[in-house]
Each structure stands twice: as C-alpha cells, then as structure tokens.
Amino acid sequence: MPIPPEWDLAGKTAIVTADRRGWTPFLAAAMAEAGADVAVAGSERSDMREAASAVEAQGRRALAITTDVTNAAEVEAMVARVASELGRVDILVNNARAEFGKPFAEVTEAEWQTLMDFNVKSMFLCCRAAGKRMLAQGGGRIVNIGSGLAVRGLWNSVAACATQGAIHQLTMALALEWGKSNVRVNGIGAGWVTTEEQTEEAQKELLVRYLPLRRKGHPTDLCGLLVYLASDACDFVTGQTVFIDGGALAHA
C-alpha cells in the first residue's frame, strides 16, 4: 500500500509478538513495507518464521527470536538482543493472543491462568522490557492488538473478555504514565478476523449476516491503522483503542 510520508518508518526498529492465528506475517510485512526493520518474537509453534520471511520479502532486516512471551527473563533477553542486533527499539506491537471459549462454570483455574498469562502478562512483560528502552532513548510507540471483547460481553467467553478488558485498561493507564516521555500507547480492537478465503458460501454464515459490512475482516484490514499508530504522525494520539470490526460495536 502507498505509505504517506509522515507515516514513514524508515530507520525504525519494531518488535512484533507472534501466535498461531496467522495474523503476524501480514502485520510484520506492513511494518516492513513502511520502512521498519522487524524482530518477531514467539514460540516455534507460532507464525514467527513466516512473519520474518514476509519482512525479508519487503527488503527489510528481520529477526526471528524464539521467546516464551510469558517468561520475564526470556522477554528481557529478546528485547536486549533486538537492541543489540538492530540498534534500537522504537515500536512494540503486542499481537500475541490466545482464543478461548467455554461456559464459565466449567473453566478451570489452570485454563484461567494460562489465558491471563498469554494475553495479559505477556503484554505487561513486553511493555516493561521494551518501554525501558523507549524511555531511555526519548520516545517510542506501543500498539496493543486486542478485540471488541474489551468493551462488550460474549456468551461462553468470560475469561477471554476479562483479558481483553485488562488490555484496554493497560493501554489507557500506561499511555497516561508515559505520555510526557514521548511514548505513545494505543490499541487496535479487532473484530472477527480470519485469514481464510471469504467465499460466497461464507457470506451465508449467521455471524457474517450480523455484521453491518457483511464480511469478516482480514489481518490486512488492521495494517493501515497499525502503521499510523507506529509512526510519528500519531504524536497527538495516545491511550486510544480503535475498533476495526465491520461495524459490530455499532449494534445496540
């Protein structure tokens, strides 16, 4: 996509956390297309390697760093390696997320904790580790990828909604704390997003018919906003979560 000059990320280094949803290659490629070098952090079972390849396809430097994003020592080591090998840490994209649905009365303590660790603790650890670098160098950008469940409920998804609400509050509160230090913290609330082809048969799905725009989203629908929030152009925007959901939240 054409990159407006004020959205140019040339000379910037970004970290993107990976999971198994398949979104990471699209998000990482968008950052690279805008000019950033990109480190991708995640488990070997994640889409980390595909994302690094997508960055290299855009002609930018890529690092794939195997990281348990719920482990403080591994996150600190990952950020230190990025700073050492790529020079700086300008942008953090907290993309890693686990999906989970189950009736609340049947949710085990272990399931609750696992979801909280992967969805929320990982953001805390990554924000803390990368944020220290940003504060020391005089600024940076953090983008937390969440969902519409931050502000709406959903059947059989209490645990998932709780993690998204926590991410929403983390985004706002951290933006307040680090605003004077030129670290902007914002979020993207994604709706129902899929990497699968949107066939004519898929258009008949009840969920699709519920959405005002009559389709599920694709990770590329998030990319324009992601690049903007990572750029210098968003200097007067912080503490915001922008929902890209095909109009789902517009429903009463």
- Residues 138, 229: Cα–Cα separation, whole Å: 17
Nearest to 52, CA basis, from 83, 93, 24 = 24
Work out the average pLDDT over 168-187: 98
Residue 14 has phi, psi (to 5 degrees) of -120, 150
pTM: 0.94
The CB density around residue 50, as the number of other CB atoms within 10 Å, is 17
Site of tokens 């694709």: 218
The CATH fold of domain 9-246: Rossmann fold (3.40.50)
pLDDT tens per residue across span 95-130: 999 989 999 999 999 999 999 999 999 999 999 999
Q: Provide the 10 A C-beta neighbour count for residue 72.
A: 14
> Residue ranges of the domains in the chain?
9-246
Q: What is the pLDDT of residue 6?
A: 80
- CA–CA distance, 69 with 243 (Å, rounded to integer): 25
Q: Per-residue pLDDT tens for 215-252? A: 999 999 999 999 999 999 999 999 999 999 999 999 75
Residue with tokens 């307040």: 176
- In the predicted model, what is the mean pLDDT of the chain? 94
CB 62 within 8 A of CB 32: yes
Secondary structure letter of residue 217 according to DSSP: B
Q: 3-state class of 243 per DSSP? A: strand
Q: DSSP E strands: which ranges in the chain?
A: 13-17, 37-42, 62-66, 91-94, 140-147, 183-190, 241-244
For residues 167-187, give the mean pLDDT.
Answer: 98
**Which residues neighbour 133 within 8 Å (Cβ) at sequence distance 6 or greater?**
79, 83, 88, 89, 140
> b or e along 158-169 (b: 16 or more beta carbons within 10 Å of the residue's beta carbon)?
bbbbbbbbbbbe
**Structural contact between residues 249 and 243, judged by C-beta atoms closer than 8 angstroms:** yes
Look at residue 2 in the predicted model and tell me its pLDDT: 67
pLDDT of 47 over the 70 cut? yes
Mean pLDDT of the 194-211 span: 75
125-148 exposure pattern, b = at least 16 Cβ within 10 A, e = fewer? bbbebbbebbeeeeebbbbbbbbb
Residue 78 phi/psi, 5-degree rounding, is: -60, -50
| Mean of pLDDT values over 134-148 | 97
